[in-house]
Amino acid sequence: MNNSLNSPFVIWTTCFFWLISIFGIFWSIILFFWVGDMIFSTGTDLVNAVVLLSAIVMLPPNFYSLHAIANGKKIEYNAKVFCCRLWTCILWIVIINIIGIILCVQRMYLCQEITKKYISNSMKQYRIAPKHRQFIDKLQWSLGCCGLKSYKDWFSQDWHDKVRDYEWASPNVRDVNAMKQVIEIDSVSMFISCCKSGSCVSSYLKELGNYSINTNGCGNLLYRFIMVSMTVHLIMFLIIIILEIFFLKSIITKNDELDSKNRSNKLNIRHIMSVNDNFEMSSGSYNLNEEDSEIDPSNVYYDEK
């Protein structure tokens, strides 16, 4: 393998691009299947889609570059990679990552407002909408939180059918006033996804305390999680753009150097025959003297061997 045809920066950058493209594909797919509802609800699904698209577009040029390096060939910036030139693929990668940067900045700017709005809406529709119930439960389980700002936010939400849920407490109660008394006894309660472990005391919180449930709200935690995620994506997009630009520049510079060297080797006659530097006469500067011009050619003696 002749690595002199490609600079070390190009070789190492190609390996980095290959790893980042494979990681980006798997990471995006895992997020879509694992926390798809969360990234859709917070508006970060577009950023994740850009990561997946960028990783897929990076595969063909990376495959070509690795193949050229492995076979000791020069990476040509004008080489055809599947349906377009290598420099065109790099240009598209840069454009896609610029779009990713714009989306990251937008999500970071609107993140707090979108997060609070969606959590509040999901809390209101927890009892009637399975999609929002699943989102809230998964959010509270994964982040170890409860409510928007604190667990007390659920006290003002109609998150369960109290009459249906508390009929077991006094099966002999038939009148409405008695049922209201039963409901009032346990009006401060919490559901299972707010528990710190699989089982906890989620009822009678005024009497027994809230030591076994998560008391911190989910709003700030989800906001910080999204901000960290968007910051990581933003840095990744910037690194890819910078490396792709320098990668293309290095390829063009290396190709120009090699082409210039090849042309110099072809035109330099010193590689073919030695030339006396003291020899200054050329065919264009040679002139016959007047005396020599008057010599009769018939008197010239030719030495025949």
CA distance 202 to 95: 51
CA distance 68 to 248: 15
Q: What is the mean pLDDT of residues 210-229?
A: 85
pTM: 0.69
Do 149 and 123 meet the contact criterion of CB atoms below 8 Å apart? no
- pLDDT tier at 232 (50, 70, 90 boundaries)? very high
* pLDDT tens, residue by residue, 71-130: 888 888 888 887 788 989 999 999 999 999 999 999 888 888 888 888 888 888 888 888
217, 221, 226, 227: CA torsion to nearest 10: 120
Q: What is the reported pLDDT for 202?
A: 52
Is residue 281 predicted with pLDDT exceeding 80? no
DSSP 8-state secondary structure symbol assigned to residue 76: -
Mean pLDDT for all residues in the chain: 75
Q: What is the reported pLDDT for 77?
A: 81
- pLDDT tier at 57 (50, 70, 90 boundaries)? very high
Is residue 293 predicted with pLDDT exceeding 50? no
Task: For residue 193, give the nearest of 128, 126, 257, 250 by alpha carbon.
Answer: 126
Question: How is residue 279 written in tokens?
Answer: 């020899």
Distances (CA, A) of 297 to 294, 302, 304, 305: 9, 10, 16, 20
Do 54 and 97 meet the contact criterion of CB atoms below 8 Å apart? yes
Q: Which of 99-113, 135-149, 247-261 is least confident?
A: 247-261
Do 251 and 61 meet the contact criterion of CB atoms below 8 Å apart? no
Q: CB within 8 A of 188, min separation 6: which ones?
A: 155, 204, 205, 206
